[in-house]
A and B are shown apart, each in its own frame.
Chain A
Amino acid sequence: MINLVLRNILRMIFLVIFQVAVLNNVQLGGYINPYLYVLFILLLPFDTPKWLLLLSAFFLGLSVDLFTDTIGINTAACVFMAFCRPGVLSLIATKQEYEQGISPTVRDMGFKWFFSYSLILVFAHHIPLFFLEVFSFREFFHTLLRIGLSIVVTMFLLLISQFITYRPKK
């Protein structure tokens, strides 16, 4: 149990550092900014208490915000994404229950499940994020384009990260 908590905390620190040190400096045509750090919320165990889910998402977003001078924007997006997670989980539930001991990864749940799970939640994160940043609907379609492109790259990174850390079942 302690091990699990520690692992999640370390993952959070690593993802935040990776996000602000590497990904925020990636320049792809001025349109794309991938947000891999949402992986932390995706990978929280199934039986995480709901209040802890929201609270950790809040601090995850806030710590990224502090490094990007965009106080509140990532926080709001992360909290919204965490709010959506229980609903999404029950929406795409497969026949096998979300038991204790298995985690929301490609390894335990399969590629198809993880793909739809992460795609819906990345949408729930990117849409509020980009619209809060622009803070108006004046550039609506331009913002949609940026959201779409960033979602593609974020998803790509999420799936790659799954295969990098893939350990076959014993």
Chain B
Amino acid sequence: MKNFFDFLIRQYFFFLFLIMEVIAIIMVVQNNYYQKAGFINATNEITGRFLTTINSVSQYFSLADANRKLSEENAKLLSEAKKFRKANDTKVYHSNDTIYTQQFEFMSAKVVRNSTNKRNNYLTLDKGSKQGITKDMGVITSTGIVGIVKEVSENFSSVISVLHKDSKISAKIKKNGQLGTIEWSGGDYRYGELIDVPTHVKLLTGDTVITSGYSTSFPEGIIIGTILGYKIEKGDDFYTITIKFSTDFNSISYAYVIKNILKNELNKINKDLPND
């Protein structure tokens, strides 16, 4: 027994290394499993505050760009509002809208951290559970899709970017409604992949790809990007389609978080369906 302890003490460096490495790997795996330990959420507040401070400096460099985007969006919204009013004017009958209930709410948030150069990219937003953000909400900008909320602390939320290994967004081609899945294979942050589209479908480069509305995170019709090119791998029944994201992931400063009001109802009815 004494020999054994002597051995441990002589080799303590190696065993200490082993213990620490195992702890680190466990943390990696835990993190991959979507559920983080409580202490990491607590620190999220601290690091979140720090990142906000950094961001308040760095946002000055992108002010011009952010302003341009906001004004463009304002113009778009204004024209839509105008269109709406006109349509109302010409209406003869006043209808109490019972057919359409509002299903989605949008909440604006500032991006305090963002990356595009990793294999798995995340964003941090400056809104959290206090402002009503919960897990699995969709995040978009005025130019297109961004990602899905992964975790919330009191004042911050962390978002899995579309530029992530585990990101799978249900999408469809606007023109013909064909369904597929958006993935990102790493590398250039401007281009992604649309998979699972069967080869009998006719495609054209430049076709618009939008969200399908089949997930509870995104409403139907949010733009994702345009088809840049496609090919069929030998022996494959599906296209491999390269798309160009409409969102410039490298210059996101403001984003909208989407709240699906009917989410619980939808999840409940989907859960009642037999699996497979």
Contacts and interface: CB of A to CB of B under 8 A. Distances in A.
Given A21-B54, A27-B117, A134-B165, A54 B25 contact: no
A151 to B, nearest CB: 15
B250 interface: yes
A46 interface: no
A27 B250 CA distance: 8
Interface in B5-47: 12-14, 16-17, 20-21, 23-32, 36, 40, 43, 47
B105 interface: no
Among B20, B29, B120, max chain A CB count under 10 A is at: B20
A51 B185 contact: no
A70 B43 CA distance: 13
A86 B115 CA distance: 34
B28 A76 contact: yes
A159 B53 CA distance: 30
Among A25, A30, A72, A134, max chain B CB count under 10 A is at: A30
Contact of A71 (B16, B17, B40, B118): B40
Among A31, A72, A82, max chain B CB count under 10 A is at: A72
A20 B55 CA distance: 11
Interface in B25-83: 25-32, 36, 40, 43, 47, 50-51, 54, 58
A135 interface: yes
B12 A76 contact: no
A69 B30 contact: no
A69 B50 CA distance: 14
Contacts of A143: 119
Interface residues of A, number: 43
A135 B32 contact: yes
B233 interface: no
A72 B31 contact: yes
Contacts of B124: 69
Interface in B209-233: none
B260 interface: no
A83 B17 contact: yes
Nearest to A84: B17
Given A30-B188, A76-B25, 8 more contacts: A30-B189, A67-B113, A70-B118, A72-B25, A75-B20, A79-B17, A133-B119, A139-B185
8 contacts: A27-B250, A32-B117, A66-B40, A67-B50, A68-B118, A73-B28, A80-B21, A132-B28
